[in-house]
Amino acid sequence: AEISMFRHVTRVYASFRDMGMPELATKPIPAIVNLRMPQGFQPLDPAKLSNPDLPLQPVNNAFFSPPNPIFSQVFGLQGAAMWFFQGTSSDFGYDGDVIYHEFGHAMVDRTIGLIGEWHVDAQGATAAPGGMNEGLADYFSSAITGDGDVGEYASKDLGGGTAIRTLDNSDTCLRNISGEVHSDSTFFSGALWAVRKSLPADQQKAYDTALMGGLLSTTVGDVGYEDVAALFIASLKKSSIPAAADALTAEFAKRGQAPVCKRIYEWDGKPLAGADKNLANT
């Protein structure tokens, strides 16, 4: 797992630097592998947590965290870090997609700095910052691999299926809005990916670099979908592939994200059901 992590972190760091990302604030960035947790950690059970004779438990997850007072103190770290658990049947440190995804969160933290809270606009509260953070992490992972499926290996511990998420989707706002950040990411990442796939291979790197330029053009992280869409469009117009700005504008409009992501259902007396199977379609 350590060798896998070193290989993939080296690759993704070089890729982002090539796109124009500045050095991370925490360098080198720690990447913890083979991580398990004491029994009783979820849910909190003080009796189990305080029993040193109980074996550690696998956890089906991985995450990036800015400086974290809990995990950082346990491991004697300072600054940001990435954490990869031993899962029930998979080692999350073996999945390159997951590693690129979590490093993508570090990139977002270093550039636009999307907030970890909900954004409030004229329609109310939205999980857009978190949704876009997840969507960008998925998008750039797929841009590096050239594959729209994210996390095929780790997916067996996260609900089964062939991948954790796929960018080859037709998801839209409002249909795929649920308030859960991973669910609220797919129409955003799907739009970015659809345009990238439509471009000739020799233009795709310029497209990725232009998106990075959009993320570097502001440090205001309390934003909605349409705000980041505007940053990307503006950056593409100034790039070597300005026609991609029109293609992305059209794709955002097709998916209901532009000119504004309308998140309010009009109830006609019939039951309402969302599209996210992981949230029981509610």
Residue 71 has pLDDT above 80, yes or no: no
Confidence of residue 279 (pLDDT cuts 50, 70, 90): low
pLDDT of the residue at 12: 98
Q: Which pTM was predicted?
A: 0.94
Q: What is the mean pLDDT of residues 51-62?
A: 93
What is the sign of the dihedral through the CA atoms of 178, 180, 186 and 192?
positive
Residue 268 has pLDDT above 80, yes or no: yes
Give φ, ψ of 18 to 5 degrees: -65, -25
Residue 243 has pLDDT above 60, yes or no: yes
Axis-axis angle for helices 201-216, 243-254 (nearest 10): 80
Residue 63 has pLDDT above 60, yes or no: yes
Q: What is the mean pLDDT of residues 222-226?
A: 97
Residue 35 has pLDDT above 90, yes or no: yes
Residue 281 has pLDDT above 70, yes or no: no
Q: Which helix (H) or strand (E) holds 80?
A: none
Confidence of residue 248 (pLDDT cuts 50, 70, 90): very high
Distance CA 146, CA 202 (A): 13
113-150 pLDDT, tens per residue?
999 999 999 999 999 999 999 999 999 999 999 999 99
CB 86 within 8 A of CB 58: yes
Percent of the chain with pLDDT over 70: 98
Distance CA 257, CA 163 (A): 25
Residue 261 has pLDDT above 80, yes or no: yes
Helix (H, G, I), strand (E, B) or coil at 216: helix
Give φ, ψ of 100 to 5 degrees: -65, -40
Q: Which two tokens stand for residue 53?
A: 């004779």
For all residues of the chain together, what is the average pLDDT?
A: 93
Residues 73-102: b if buried by 16+ CB within 10 A, e if exposed: eeeebebbbbbbbbbeebbbbbbbbbbbbb
Distance CA 8, CA 271 (A): 46
